[in-house]
Structure 1
Amino acid sequence: MFSLENKIAVITGGGSGIGKAIALLFARQGATVYIVELNLEAAQQVATEIKQTGGNAHAVAADVSDQQAVVNAFKQIGRIDILVNNAGIAHVGNVENTAAADFDRVYNVNVKGAYNCLYAAIPVMKQGNGGVILNMASIASHVGITDRFAYSMSKGAIYAMSMSVARDYLHSNIRCNSISPARVHTPFVDGFITKNYPGQEDEIFAKLSKSQPIGRMAEPEEVASLALYLCSDESGFITGADYPIDGGFIKLNN
């Protein structure tokens, strides 16, 4: 079950965190993985790690906010069976202290970046036998998160775009779903805590962990396992759905 043999999978932001975990798992399940990254060195490191364990992987340098760069990169890749729109950036702030430049930056990477990849991949999937698209949304797509105005905007857009694409391509054999994680323990989280709370790392980590009712953050590998299911043939009857992976945050955090 959950084999990705003979599948070509494109994973944006696959050089670290959740994207890296997805790339490693998909390769282990037999997919040929293309890691599309702004940070080519990080992508190459993950591709090397995959190859060392007998998998197939390629690093592709591209800025997802640049449509022509994405189109060119996807042309290089050729056939695409699976697209995981994972690349994204965070921002802390409410509407009053979110500068226009910061709002645009989050929009350009998180929203326009996903759009650019959809724009490039869907015609390729239509020419083939269809495909599967998985977009990385967030619990911020569903509930209010303090001081995450721009980020929440971007993830709400990801959720809405996922539903739209699922509807538009029902008859092209293209499925599209999204995942909405709560906090996931990634190097980004550790870096954020170290930068903003020096000397309080353990205390802040514990506080952030307990904000999930289950009492801890998710591990990237747990999100990757859900991604594997949604991109495998076993989920062939699922499209136009969002899957929270949130330790009970949305429903139980009362």
Structure 2
Amino acid sequence: MSEAALAGLKVAVTGASGDIGRALCRSLAAEKAHLSLLGRDAGRLERLANELRHLASGVSVRPVDLTSDESIARAAAQLQQETGRVDILVHGAGIFEMGAHASAAVIAFDRQYRTNVRGP
């Protein structure tokens, strides 16, 4: 992708504190996108932001729990206030809990569904 294609675009990435999310954010930063890093681990988000600030056109950190409607609403309101808009949303967050389907607890299923499907 050419640098001009993403330069200055406001990109929000969920799951930015995970391995795949971090790799994606590094690529987006190299393209000069303005990144909003969203994820559960604030410390990992801050470390990534510090790494990317010299590459991206801007970087912000927004800890969020995608299983919580309140947390999602708060993060969305903060993003709106901070950036005015989001040009691209990358839903990179995802969880998977191992175990037999028949014995899976409803709470685990709900957590996976809320994170992987309903979250953003």
TM-score, reference length from structure 2: 0.84
Give 1:11's aligned residue.
13
| Displaced runs of 4 or more, over 2 A | 53-56
5+ residue gaps, structure 1:
118-254
Q: Offset at 1:63?
A: 0.8
Greater relative CO, 1 or 2 (CA 8 Å, sep 6+) = 2
Percentage identity across aligned positions?
Answer: 27
In 2, Cα distance between the equivalents of 1:10 and 1:45? 17
SS at match of 2:101: coil
SS at 2:103 equivalent: coil
* Residue of 15, 22, 25 corresponding to 2:24: 22
Q: Is the 8 A contact 2:67 2:111 kept in 1?
A: no
**Where does residue 98 of structure 1 map in the other structure?**
104
Q: How many residues get paired? A: 113
Question: Is the aligned partner of 1:82 residue 2:106?
Answer: no
Distance in structure 2 (CA, Å) of the matches to 1:50 and 1:40: 15
- The alignment's TM-score, normalised by the length of structure 1, stands at 0.42
**8 Å contact 1:9–1:31 — kept in the other structure?**
yes
Contact 1:37/1:43 (<8 A) preserved: yes
Cα distance change of structure 1 residues 30 and 96 upon mapping to structure 2, 3 Å threshold: same
* Aligned pairs (5 A) from 1:163-182: none
CA offset at residue 49 of structure 1? 0.5
CA RMSD in angstroms comes to: 1.5
For the pair shown, which has the larger CA radius of gyration, 1 or 2?
1
* Per-residue CA distance 1:74-124 (angstroms, 9 max, x = gap): 2222210000011111111232221222212212222221xxx2xxxxxxx
1:1-254 to 2 correspondences below 5 Å:
1=2, 3-51=5-53, 53-55=54-56, 56-78=58-80, 79-113=85-119, 117=120
The structure-2 alpha-carbon separation of the partners of 1:101 and 1:70, relative to structure 1 and needing over 3 Å to count, comes to closer
Counterpart Cα distance in 2 of 1:18 and 1:7: 20
Mapped partners of 1:74, 1:41: distance in 2: 20
Using the TM superposition, give the Cα deviation of residue 60 of structure 1 relative to its aligned residue in structure 2, in angstroms: 0.5
Q: 1:17 Cα shift?
A: 0.8
Contact 1:15 1:45 (C-alpha < 8 Å) held by counterparts = no
Q: 2:32, 2:55 within 8 Å by CA — same for their partners in 1?
A: no
